Chain A
Amino acid sequence: MTLNALERERQRRERRTLAALLTPGLLWLILFFALPLVIILVYSFMTNGPRGNIVWQFTLGNYVDLFTRSIYFNAYLRSIWISVLTTVICLVLGYPLALFIVRQPPRWRTVLLFLVLIPFWTNFLVRIYAWQIILANNGLINSALRSLGLPPLTLLNTEGATLLGLVYGELPFMVLPIYAALDRFDFTLMEAAADLGASKRRAFWRVMLPMTMPGVAAGSVLVFIPTIGQFVVSELLGGAKVDYLGNLIQRLFLRSNPPNWPLGSAMAMAMMLVLLALILIYFRTTTEEDR
């Protein structure tokens, strides 16, 4: 009896401590994450008023607009496409780089990782402005071309510039998780594969890549998520010539006259759906590895 009571008392105290520890974080998340999300979700089913006010009338029109009006749907597809492209390029550039760094002697590894991280010391916007200076019509590259007597190139305000800026900005987020995966990889397995008749290429596809897949998946998610919602790079380096999801959402909320918050909300929700699907795939691959 008394033992049971003591045990109950102990459990009650444990629960109280747990509640005290969790409450601040939970409140913060509810207030600043869950609540705005619910608001956006609700808005996405509402009607836009003539002066950009919210009319509290349920409609699926925003979602219909999103999938039927080409300006919105194209932006949607374009965002997915450039995010896929950015992710693939980061992967193709980042994997060999991470592999190279892992194979260096420990002292050099630290130095090289440090170099990968150095860009983070400067604000992202500042770095993108720096790219403007490099790519502009009378920028660094074109001045160099001109001094060599070569014709100038149009570099800034192109989709190529957008892609360049995105890859530049996201590459470290691909390199680091792959590096971590390769650091745990036992390279004796590559010798074992060679010993069993696998060329370097086949050993990579059959052994090294599958075993470092969690790193590849983590890096891809880290690159894909910010890229699909971005609007800064396409505006500053792409010259806002084509619309991506992020640009449209930003415009619908802030710039258009009148603003259209319900449609902007619907677009934000559609974007989250893509990310949700992606993250589900990510958890699939990583949990399979852990089995």
Chain B
Amino acid sequence: MSTTNAVELRNVVKRFGDIAAVDHVSLEIRDGEFFSLLGPSGCGKTTTLRMIAGFEYPSSGSIVIHGREMATIPPHRRPVNTVFQSYALFPHLTVAQNVAFGLEMQRRPKDEIAARVREALEQVRLSGFADRRPRQLSGGQQQRVALARALINQPEVLLLDEPLGALDQKLRKELQIELKSLQRRVGITFVFVTHDQEEALTMSDRIAVMSQGKVLQIGSPTEIYERPTCRFVADFIGETNFIAGKVIENGANAATIETPDGLRLRGLTPRPVRVGEPAVLSIRPEKALLLAPGDARAGHAFAIPARVELVSYIGSDTRITVRLNDQRTFDVWEQNTLSTLDRDAYWQPGEPAVLVCPPDNALVLTE
């Protein structure tokens, strides 16, 4: 079982008129994993999910669920269930009737349905709400009803379309943890669509980053954050600094770029680059180091002269914006590990500094 794929997409294309909403997407979603489709709105992630659910059919390519081709299977015969962004609870039915809907469609015996509904409502801590109507519940409670209504059918794959999108920040965080632990407990494959990169990083086993209908990178949260393979992914996930230049030398898994003002900077290459190609050096703000001019540690790595422009203390970190020689800005985050109120000894705007970054914390990326 552990080697089978729950869902496979092979070269799936979906066109609406002349526009390819999904453009040759291939994915393998493993059995039991929490898989996220992450990207900005309009990137094709929801269309991809809707094709797995059966609400849309691919223009070409194939979708396979546990080895079965889905091309001719309508949504009501697929072994998947969906939690909709708007929850799509039936307003004319009670909470219990909503949750029972799927089992009723399978024509299960009445007492089995009653027992399983009770169990499902317990699982999402809504036991006392069985006879309420959906509109009498809060957003978070409605979301949990939608979850119970889907999970009660024991689907092979659960599809979730931005299910936390309509909730406030605090509730979102709570439900992220709840959803993740629920997924571990029931062991069902989750395919989760979101535009919130933090949400995807928190919950997923693996993430597919999408943009303009294409999958740009698939990997674990760490891989996606630490080793983005292109500029878009580095930019979309978390914060980063880009220094633009041209590749002048490349090795096995590292390369050097030269900036227009003649700086030569070296970084790792998650994806091979060619000499002469335009590229950027991507450095996360927490991975760069700001040193006083003349600091001995500057000798080991590349060092760029800079001037401190802005210092913002935000509690856990201090965020320092420096200006480089060619007027570009660059952000450096320093963690406030030492409890010090003596801010006078800290960086002051206007001070000269040296920006340092070890080469294995810098990446050379192309478009």
Contacts and interface: CB of A to CB of B under 8 A. Distances in A.
Interface residues of B, number: 25
Given A189-B90, A289-B92, A197 B76 contact: yes
B186 interface: no
Contacts of A191: 53, 55, 75, 82, 84, 88
Contact of B81 (A186, A196, A198): A196
A291 B81 CA distance: 29
B149 interface: yes
B102 interface: yes
Contacts of B153: 196-197
Contact of B92 (A192, A195, A197, A211): A211
Contact of B102 (A188, A196, A203, A291): A196
Contacts of B80: 195
A279 interface: no
A186 B106 contact: no
A197 B106 CA distance: 7
Interface string B195-207: 0000000000000
Interface string B105-135: 1100000000000000000000000000100
Interface string B68-96: 00000011110011101010111110000
A192 B82 contact: yes
A289 B82 CA distance: 26
A191 B86 CA distance: 12
A194 B102 CA distance: 9
Interface in A196-230: 196-199, 202-203, 206-207, 210-211
A194 B88 contact: no
Contact of A196 (B74, B92, B105): B105
A211 B134 CA distance: 14
B74 A194 contact: yes
A198 B92 contact: no
A271 interface: no
Nearest to A198: B105
A193 interface: yes
B81 A211 contact: no
Interface string B216-247: 00000000000000000000000000000000
Contact of B76 (A186, A189, A199, A207): A199
Interface in A145-184: none
B101 interface: yes
- With most chain B CB atoms within 10 A of its CB, the pick from A192, A196, A211 is A196
Interface residues of A, number: 20
A134 B261 CA distance: 89
Given A188-B84, A188-B86, A202-B105, A195 B91 contact: no
B90 A194 contact: no
A194 B53 CA distance: 10
B29 to A, nearest CB: 18
B90 A195 contact: no
Contacts of A198: 76, 101, 105
A35 B75 CA distance: 61
Given A192-B82, A195-B75, A196-B81, A186 B105 contact: no
Given A191-B75, A195-B81, A210 B92 contact: yes
Given A195-B53, A196-B101, A202-B105, A188 B88 contact: yes
Contact of A195 (B76, B89, B133): B76
B105 A207 contact: no
A191 B75 CA distance: 8
Nearest to A203: B76
A289 B80 CA distance: 31
B75 A194 contact: yes
Contacts of A193: 76, 90, 101
Nearest to A289: B92
B163 to A, nearest CB: 13
A192 B90 contact: yes
Contacts of A186: 86, 88
Contacts of A211: 90-92
Contacts of A291: 133
Contacts of B81: 195-196
B302 to A, nearest CB: 54
- With most chain A CB atoms within 10 A of its CB, the pick from B53, B90, B106 is B90
Contacts of A196: 76, 81, 101-102, 105, 149-150, 153
A289 B93 CA distance: 10
A114 to B, nearest CB: 27
Nearest to B89: A192
Interface in B311-330: none
Which 9 A-B pairs rank lowest in CB-CB distance, beginning with the nearest? A197-B105, A192-B88, A196-B102, A194-B75, A188-B88, A194-B76, A195-B82, A196-B101, A197-B76
Interface of B: 53-55, 74-77, 80-82, 84, 86, 88-92, 101-102, 105-106, 133, 149-150, 153
30 contacts: A186-B86, A186-B88, A189-B88, A191-B53, A191-B55, A191-B75, A192-B84, A192-B90, A193-B76, A193-B90, A194-B76, A195-B75, A195-B76, A195-B80, A195-B81, A195-B82, A195-B150, A196-B76, A196-B102, A196-B149, A197-B76, A197-B77, A197-B102, A197-B105, A197-B106, A198-B76, A198-B101, A198-B105, A211-B91, A291-B133
